[in-house]
Amino acid sequence: MYAFNYSRAETGRKAVNLISKNEDAKFLAGGQTLLPTMKQRLASPGALIDLSGAADLKGIEMKGRNLVIGAMTRHFDVATSELVKEKIPALADLAGMIGDPAVRNRGTMGGSVANNDPAADYPSACLALNATIITNKRKIPADEFFTGLFETALEEGELITKISFPVPNKAAYEKFRNPASRYAIVGVFVAKKGKDVRVAVTGAGSNGVFRPSNFEAALTAKFHVKSLEGVSAKAEGLNSDIHADAAYRAHLIGVMARRAVAKANAK
């Protein structure tokens, strides 16, 4: 790891102030991706602004009909929160599948969403649940937030403060994971709210998380596993690597989507 200057922000506002004075700085959330990346010297920020002491960025609450989760809320806290389990059990379920227990004790929702790893879990939840990503500057709909591989709509120095999830009628997440890295080879999040059905796929798209429109159309007609008979994903535009080729990933999208719908309907 290359040397950097370290500072600690006690609030989100102080963090934003600190970063505005230093172009070469990055926010440090849970560090479960950023620190390994820095160790490999794939990233070398000149300064880190540690958010771990910023209590105002943590917490889980209902605001109107939305479940609002602070950006620095750890995966463990989302996975075990009674409020999350009651309102959006699929989200608690997803958080409990990230990494391993020790990683979940450090990793944060905001960090995962800001990083937008193409195989991360949370981006699929944000997209399928039609979440709003709230920053120090503005509110960004999930549909406009995830713009490509490790790319988001966030501007330089912009900080995610919380994420607001409309509570769905039904939702579920199914993940076929790489047993070593525990990232999704394919993960599918399905959500039904009123007549709206949204499906988001992570791990597969060569441009990151995406919504397969043919799956959504079939499920909007009827939210049932049988609606997905004959509905498949195209291998074109999907990732191929040593773990799974594009055709296999396309197949897995169908399998995970059917399992997720069955799971959502079983609740």
Partner 1 sequence: MPKVSMTVNGKAVSGNVDSRTLLVQFLRETLRLTGTHVGCDTSQCGCCVVHVNGSAIKSCTTLALSHEGSTVTTIEGLAQDGKLHPMQEAFRENHGLQCGFCTPGMIMTAVDIVHRKGNKLDEQTIRHELEGNICRCTGYHNIVKAVAAGAEAMAK
Strands 5-8 and 47-50: parallel
Kindly state whether residue 55 participates in binding partner 1, applying the rule CB under 8 A. Answer: no
Say how far apart CA 67 and CA 52 lie, in whole Å.
22
Residues 6+ apart with CB under 8 A from 138: none
Cβ of residue 175: shortest distance to partner 1, in angstroms?
A: 14
Residues 6+ apart with CB under 8 A from 86: none
- Beta-sheet strand order (sheet of 25-28): 5-8, 47-50, 25-28
Kindly state whether residue 32 participates in binding partner 1, applying the rule CB under 8 A. Answer: yes
Cβ of residue 243: shortest distance to partner 1, in angstroms?
A: 15
From the list 126-134, 176-184, 187-195, 232-240, the region that binds partner 1 by CB under 8 A is: 176-184
| Phi, psi torsion values for 140, nearest 5 degrees | -120, 120
Q: Which amino acid is at 17?
A: N
What is the pattern of x (binds partner 1, CB under 8 A) and - over residues 207-226?
--------------------
From the list 83-91, 95-103, 116-124, 196-204, the region that binds partner 1 by CB under 8 A is: 95-103
Name which position in 15, 19, 25, 48 contacts partner 1 (CB under 8 A): 48
Residues 6+ apart with CB under 8 A from 69: 59, 60, 78, 84, 109, 162, 163, 165
Kindly state whether residue 103 participates in binding partner 1, applying the rule CB under 8 A. Answer: yes
Of 41 and 267, which CB lies nearer to partner 1 in the complex structure?
A: 41
Question: Could you list the residues that contact partner 1 (CB under 8 A)?
Answer: 1-6, 8, 28, 31-32, 35-36, 38-39, 48, 50, 52, 76, 99-103, 105-106, 180-182
